[in-house]
Structure 1
Amino acid sequence: MEWDWDPQEEDLRSVGVLGVYRHCFLVVRARRRIVARVALCHGLPLSVLFLANVAVAHAIFSRYVPDDDAFEAAAPAGTALAALLFLLRGSADWVAYLLFKAAYLSALLALSLASTAAVVSCVASLYSAAKYDDLYLRRGIRAFPLAWIRRLVDTFLAAFVLLLLYNGVSIAVLVLTVLLLYSHHGTLLASLLLLGGAVYLAGLVYIGVVWHLASVVSVLEDARGAAAMRKSRALLAGKLWTVAAIFAKLSGLSFAVEMAFRVVVVEDKMRLGLGDRALLGMAMAATLCAVIMVALVAQAVVYFVCKSYHREVVDKAHLSDHLGVYLGEYEPLDSSNGGGRGVQMEQLP
C-alpha cells in the first residue's frame, strides 16, 4: 500500500519531545526500505565500532591485572626496577590504545559523515516537492556527493576546534580554582567542583546539539563550518531545551547499552556461556544500531521543527533543486513547469 503521509511545516511549529519521536517513527515508516539499508550499511557498523571500542579498551587495560603478584615478585615495590617496569608496561599499553583509538576515530568519522548525509537526504526528500522513489534514493546512498562530505568535514572541524577551546578553558579554570582554594577552603572547593562539573557537562551537551543541527544545515543549506554552527545556534533559539532533552535521552540510552555490553558480555559478570554472551552481544549491537538510526533521523526532523518554529519558509521546490543538483538525477524544478518558488531558505548572519 502506498504511503500517503505528507509532512506539513505548520504542524511542526509546536512539536515537543514526544512529537519529534512521533515524526521520527513516521519518517522511518515512510522510508522503511531506505532506512533499513542505511542501518545495515552505516548504522550497524557504527554500533559494532562503538562496542568494539569498549571491548578493546577493556582488553588492553585489564590484561595485566591477574599478573600483579608475579610482577611484584619479579620487581619488589619501591625499587627502581619496579618503577621502570611499571612505566614500560604502561607505555606499551598506551601506545597500543592510542593506535587503536586513531583507527577507531578515523572509521567513526567516516561512517558518521556518510550516515548523516544519507539520513538527512532521505528525510529531506519527504519535505521536498519532487517525488523521490526508493530506487533513486538507494542510488544516492551508494554514491554520496563529495560536496556533502567536504561540507560536513568543514563543520566537524569547526565543532572540533570549538570543543578544544572549551576544554582548554575548562582545564585552566579547574587548575586555577584548585590552586587557589585547595589549602584552606576544602568544603568550598568541593562545592565549586560539583557545580563546575554540572556546568561543564551542560556545555558539552550544548556543543553537541549545535554540531548535530549544524551537520543538517551543511547538507541542506549553503552554510558550512563556522557559518553552519552560527546558523544552528540561531535555529535552536526557543527550542534548545526540547532538542537537548531529545539528544540527552538518546545519548543516555546509548551509554546504557554500552555499559551493559561491558558488564554482561565483556566482563561476564553474570557468568554466562560463550553462546549466550554472543547472542546478547548481537542483540545489544542491534539495539545500539536502532538508537543510532533514531538519533540520525531525529536531527533531521529537528531541523524542520526549528525552521518551522522560526517561521522560516522551507521552499519545497528549492529544496528539491538542492537535493537534485547534488544527487544528479532530477532536473532542477522551474517555475515555468509548475514548480513555482516561494521564499528560499533564509541565511541568518
Structure 2
Amino acid sequence: MDREQEDMQFLGFFGIYREASKIILSWRKVFAQITLTLILPLSFIFLAHMEVSDLLFSKIIHNEMAVDETRAGTPKYNKLSDILKHELVTFYLFKAAYFTFLLILSLLSTSAVVYTVACIYTSREVTFDKVMSVVPKVWKRLMLTFVCTFIFFLAYNIVAIFIFILLVLSLEPSKFIVAMYVLAILYFVGFIYMTMVWHLASVMTVLEDTCGIPAMIKSKALIKGKTGVSTIIFLKLNISFWLIQFAFKTLVVRGESLGMVNRVSYGIICLLLLFLLILFGLVIQTVIYLVCKSYHHENIDKSALSDHLDVYLGDYVPLKTKDVQLEQFDV
C-alpha cells in the first residue's frame, strides 16, 4: 500500500474499491492462503447449513403433520413422537454447532485479513505463517466486541418488536400499513448503520487497545464524516450477500427440478462468489478504517504500528491509542 495516509481521506466510493482490489491483487498469494484456510470453510459451512437445515426442518414438519393426524396414545403415535423429539434435538444441536463454527471462523478470518492489511500498510513483510501465528491471540478480543454487538442488536430487535406490537394494538388497518412501511425503512437504516459500526469496531479491536463497548463508541465517532460513502459500500455488500443467499436457496436448496448436475454447478458458483465477497468485504472495512482515520486527521504512526504487529518476539500487543492518534496532520 503505497498511498500516504493523509491522501486516503479523499478516497470516495470507487477509490475505496480500487484500493481494496489493489491490495488483494498485489498480495494475492497470502490472501489466497488465508481464503483457502479460513474464508472458504466459512463460506462452505454457511451454504451447507442452509441445505442441511432445510432437509432437517422438512422432516420435522412432515412428522409433526403425521403426529397431528394420528390418535394420541397409540403405538404409532408414540413412535412418531419419539422420532419427532429426536429430530428436534438433532436440529437444535446442529444449529448450535453451526453457529459455533461460524462464529469462530468469522472471527479468525477478520483477525487474519485486518492484520494482513495492517502489515501491508506499514510496509512490513507479511507471510501466511506469521498471520496465522497472531490470529489466535486476537480473536478473543474480537469475541468480546462481537458479544457486545450481539447484545445491542438483540436490544434493537426487541425494541422494534415492541413498537410493532404497539402499532398493531393502537392503529387502524389503513394507518397501520403506512406506519409499517415507515418502521421497516427506519429499521433497515438502523440495521445498516449498526453493521457499519460493528465492522469498524472489529478493525479497531485488532489494531488498537480497545474492544467491546469502548470500541463501538469510538467506531461510531470515527465513522462521522464518511457515513454516506460507508453506507453505500456496506449496503452494496449486504445486498450482494443477500442475493447470493437467495440464489443458493432458490437454485440449490429448492431447485430439485433443475437436476443434480445443475444444482451442484450453481452451488459451486455461489460458493465462489461468497468467499470472494467475504474477502473483499473484510479488506474494504479495513480500508474504510484508514480512510476515516485520515478524514479526522488522526495520523497513525507506522513505525509504532509496525512494532506492535511484530509477533515473533512475543505475544500480540495491540496498538495503543496514543500511537493511533499520535498527531494531527495538516491538510
Q: What is the CA–CA distance in structure 2 between the aligned matches of 1:73 and 1:174, rounded to whole Å?
A: 32
SS in 1 for 2:210: coil
Residue 155 (structure 2) aligns with: 165
Q: 1:178 and 2:168 equivalent?
A: yes
Aligned letter for 2:140? R
SS in 2 for 1:176: helix
The aligned runs of 1:26-105 (5 Å cut-off) are 26-63=22-59, 71=66, 74-75=69-70, 94-105=88-99
* 1:114–1:144 Cα contact (<8 Å) kept: no
Residue 143 (structure 1) aligns with: 133
Q: 1:154 and 2:144 equivalent?
A: yes
Structure 2 counterpart of 1:313, from 295, 299, 302: 299
Q: What is the CA–CA distance in structure 1 between the aligned matches of 2:100 and 2:214, rounded to whole Å?
A: 24
Alpha-carbon spacing, 1:251–1:73, altered in 2? closer, same or farther (3 Å): closer
SS in 1 for 2:250: helix
SS in 2 for 1:223: coil
Partner deviation per Cα, 1:42-78 (whole Å, 9 max, x = no partner): 111111111112112221232367789x9499449xx
Residue 241 (structure 1) aligns with: 228
Q: 1:108 and 2:102 equivalent?
A: yes
Partner deviation per Cα, 1:84-131 (whole Å, 9 max, x = no partner): 999988766554332222111111110011111110011111221x53
SS in 1 for 2:10: coil
Residue 323 (structure 1) aligns with: 309
Aligned letter for 1:193? M
Structure 2 counterpart of 1:199, from 186, 201, 204: 186
Q: Which runs of 5+ in 1 are unaligned?
A: 333-342
Residue 319 (structure 2) aligns with: none
SS in 1 for 2:33: helix
Aligned letter for 1:328? Y
TM-score norm. by structure 2 comes to: 0.87
Alpha-carbon spacing, 1:153–1:64, altered in 2? closer, same or farther (3 Å): closer
Q: What is the CA–CA distance in structure 1 between the aligned matches of 2:37 and 2:5, rounded to whole Å?
A: 30
SS in 1 for 2:211: coil
* 2:108–2:135 Cα contact (<8 Å) kept: no
TM-score norm. by structure 1 comes to: 0.82
Q: CA deviation at 1:225?
A: 0.7
* 2:67–2:81 Cα contact (<8 Å) kept: no
Structure 1 counterpart of 2:12, from 7, 16, 28: 16
* 2:293–2:299 Cα contact (<8 Å) kept: yes
Q: 1:275 and 2:261 equivalent?
A: yes
Partner deviation per Cα, 1:155-214 (whole Å, 9 max, x = no partner): 111111111211222222222221222xxx111111111211111121111111111110
Q: CA deviation at 1:139?
A: 1.5
* 1:7–1:126 Cα contact (<8 Å) kept: no
Residue 290 (structure 2) aligns with: 304
* 1:6–1:126 Cα contact (<8 Å) kept: no
Q: Which runs of 5+ in 2 are unaligned?
A: 317-321, 327-331
CA RMSD of aligned residues (A): 3.0
Residue 132 (structure 1) aligns with: 125
* 1:43–1:293 Cα contact (<8 Å) kept: yes
Q: CA deviation at 1:253?
A: 1.1
* 1:265–1:277 Cα contact (<8 Å) kept: yes
